[in-house]
Structure 1
Amino acid sequence: MTTKVDPPIRQAATMILLRRNARETSVLMGMRGAKAAFMPSKYVFPGGAVDPEDADATLLRPLTDIHQRRLRAEPRPDEPANPHAIAAAALRELVEETGLVIGAPSPTPTQWPGYAEKALAADASTLRYVFRAITPPGRPRRFDAHFFIADAAQLLGNPDEFGDACDELSHLHWVPLTEARNLNLPFITEVVLAEIAEVAGSVPHHQDLPDPDTVPFFDNRGTAPRFSQIA
């Protein structure tokens, strides 16, 4: 009898874009393909695994210190978190999967499609680190996933224009937070939605998104799940 071995845990980054006005707050979501190996046919936020090249990506400004410190908390000995690479992966996945850009003109642009040809550098300074979750054992893929929120007001260009998106996510659209949990969602996405509704609801729409008091962490690296808060 062959013993099934779990795949290695990879660092991953997810971008949660919030579009806020006096009437409501909406979140950008898309649906994964029915044949996807991970979370098929589920509505998710843009995101994906951290690539080795992300460690060297040009960022106009880095994450603020509090988020860098929290990303380094509770490290996995086999792969400690690299805040620069994780933030870069979140911004890269955003432009790849949606065509949307957070950045500014720069003489040293970020070498990604959507940035390089427009002489733009990606900007991580307005990202807020809000959630961490490690995929439980027994799944076809496992990730140490780091979730960020950003305000759609930081986007360059039209937030409804997805013409440059790849085909990894379909049905990209802005969903009111009050309706998002009615979609076909992975469990962890439901949990994250509840968390970001609390963060976004803590300030008026015309104010900047706040840094959360703590970052919830669903730790499934071992046989027994553990929940903690990263201060």
Structure 2
Amino acid sequence: MNAGGSAKAALLTEDLKHRNETRHAPRRPRDAASLILVDRNHDVPRVLVGKRGKAHAFMPEMYVFPGGRRDPDDNRVGLARPLNAAVTEQLLRRTQARFGENAARGLAVAAAREMMEEAHVSLTPASEAEPLRPDVSHFRFLARAITPPGMPRRFDTRFFVCFTDEVEADTAQVRDSDELQDLTWLPIDSHETVALPRITKVVLTDLKDALEADRTLPFQRMIPFYYFRNGRFVRELI
């Protein structure tokens, strides 16, 4: 792990030390996905985030990317255009044998579905008859993070990225939902202007670093994977 990666993992570990939540019984992380919608038509690219309600058990009153757990039905939803083959291969790394291509596709569907439900942005082309038949061909796989033990909810979250100018999506339709309020286009270098979970800040930094390296964000790249081991977070490239 390089110095930058070590610093990001250390930030997550330090954040965990200062939490005051009651420790919960061990539970298996559930597969989840978030979609980072990026508007790069500015000198500093902007990403869509929204505020979770205070009644949420997980990250209440924090600004997050639209996303949620993968539902069983997500694996069976058809796609207008499939994932890039490199992204599918990346999603299959470091998974159990029973996690196959259908589950990988289901994660992309979950990300698109949650974007539609939480922000009212549809990634289903207008030519499709189904309300949910997304085009996920432009999704990049940016990062993966597993919630540490003892939290009220645990997720194995895959963070996808797509650019607004590459997809057939009407961002003018962005509006609040029951899940997310105050939907905001946040400059990627403005971490301190809204209340973001530490993992969201770290993933935004990963995005900023990746865009500085190549503004096109190539599909084929190593993916940072954050997980908890021996009392601390680890950042591994997979």
Using structure 2 for the length normalisation, give the TM-score. 0.81
Q: Does the alignment pair 1:99 with 2:120?
A: yes
Aligned 8 A contact 1:199 1:212 in 2: no
Relative to total residues, which structure has the larger strand share, 1 or 2?
1
**How far apart are the structure 2 equivalents of 1:181 and 1:76?**
37
Distance 1:219 1:76 in 2: 16
Q: 1:15 aligns to what?
A: 35
TM-score normalised to the size of structure 1? 0.84
Question: Which of these residues, 159, 172, 180, is aligned with residue 147 of structure 1?
Answer: 159
Per the alignment, in what secondary structure is the counterpart of residue 227 of structure 1?
strand
Structure 1 residue 95 displacement after superposition = 0.5
| Paired letter, 2:171 | P
Percent identity of equivalent pairs: 35
1:45-56 mapped onto 2 (5 Å cutoff)? 45-56=65-76
1:88 to 109, 128, 138: 109
Match of 1:33 in 2: 53
Alpha-carbon displacement from aligned partner over 1:17-76 (angstroms, at most 9, x marks no partner): 110124321110000001101000111000000000000011011111111111111114
Q: What's the C-alpha RMSD, in Å, of the aligned pairs?
A: 2.2
Please identify which structure carries the higher helix content. Answer: 2
Distance in 1 (CA, whole Å) between partners of 2:146 and 2:153 is: 11
Residue 178 of structure 2: aligned partner: 167
Structure 1 CA distance for aligned equivalents of residues 185 and 207 of structure 2: 15
Could you give the per-residue CA deviations for residues 135-172 of structure 1, whole angstroms, max 9, x where no partner exists? 00000000000000000113445413224x53100000
**Structure 2: 5+ residue runs without aligned partners?**
1-22
1:23–1:226 CA distance, 2 compared to 1 (3 A): closer
- Find the aligned partners of 2:41 and 2:156 in 1 and give their Cα distance: 32
Does the 8 A contact of 1:101 with 1:155 survive in 2?
Answer: no
Check 1:29–1:146 CA distance in 2 against 1; reply closer, same or farther (3 A cut). same
Deviations 1:70-113 (A, max 9, x none): 11111146x63621100100100010001112232445x4444x
Of the three residues 190, 193, 207, the one matched with 1:179 is 190
Give the counterpart letter for 2:71 in structure 1.
D
**Distance (whole Å) between structure 2 residues aligned to residue 33 and residue 22 of structure 1:** 29
Number of residues of Structure 1 aligned to a counterpart in Structure 2 = 214
| Distance of 2:42 and 2:204 partners within structure 1 | 20
Is residue 133 of structure 1 aligned with residue 153 of structure 2?
no
* Contact 1:134 1:221 survives alignment (8 Å): no
From 206, 216, 221, the equivalent of 2:224 is 216
Letter in 2 for 1:227: R
Cα distance in structure 2, aligned partners of 1:226 and 1:175: 27
1:216 is aligned with what amino acid? P
- Contact 2:24/2:152 (CA < 8 Å) preserved in 1? no
Query: What is residue 117 of structure 1 aligned with on the other side?
Result: none
Provide the secondary structure at the position in 1 that maps to 2:106: helix
CA distance in 1, matches of 2:194, 2:81: 35
Secondary structure of the equivalent of 1:104? Answer: coil
User: Which 5+ residue runs of structure 1 have no aligned equivalent?
Assistant: 113-120
